[in-house]
Amino acid sequence: MATLHIFDFDDTLITSDSSVRITHADDSQEVITSEEFADYKEKSGDQFDFSDFDVYPANAQIIEEVFAALRTAIALDGPGSVVILTARSNPKPVREFLKAHNIDGIEVRATGSASPMAKAQYVLDRLKNEDFDAVEVFEDNARNIRTIQKVVEPTGVRFKSNRVTRQGVIPATKNVKQENYLRIISEM
């Protein structure tokens, strides 16, 4: 049996100059990073422009530790067990970036939604239709990690998460209960 390896793209595999533009109800504007957007509390009347995420990532910098884990996952369990699961609406720029870095043949799933449930539903669908004994997630957003964990645990499939932060990758460890780990990282 194999592990289903899930990798987010923005702020997990790479950092870039891509940003979210917000126009507030009073017509004032704000520009925030995708990392800041993960914690942004939407206000009534907000309109979002995600167009930076529909094109090849500007000034992309690979997060080496996570990119190495991606290559290892492909080598261990094959490209069919690895997916880039992104909130972007267009998978093409992600595929182009990966191809430019000699990664080809893995699925890139663009959910087109910032809702953690969109990613969790994809994982659950894969678990229902394929035979995996574990799920390993690399993700910068703690809410996404928690939501994916909530759908994986009832299936009996082992779950391992790796939270990607500016300080590096924080894996869930066996000497910290998963619930406490997720609480801790959500408070970071």
Total Cβ atoms within 10 A of residue 148: 25
| Residue 105 and residue 145 share a domain | yes
Instruction: Tell me the residue range of the domain where 103 lies.
Output: 2-15+59-186
Question: For residue 53, what is the DSSP state?
Answer: G
CA–chain centroid gap for 42, Å, is: 20
Is residue 35 domain-shared with residue 89, that is, in the same domain? no
- In this predicted model, which residue has the larger pLDDT, 57 or 181? 57
Instruction: Enter the pTM of the model.
Output: 0.86
pLDDT at 175: 36
For residue 73, give the CATH number of its domain: 3.40.50.1000
Mean pLDDT of 36-57: 90
40 and 131 part of one domain: no
Query: In this predicted structure, which of 9-23, 122-136, 161-175 has the lowest mean pLDDT?
Result: 161-175
Quickly state the pLDDT bin for 184 (edges 50, 70, 90).
Answer: very low
**Residue 104 and residue 177 share a domain:** yes
The 19-23 sheet, strands edge to edge: 29-33, 19-23, 47-49
25, 7: one domain = no
pLDDT of residue 186: 52
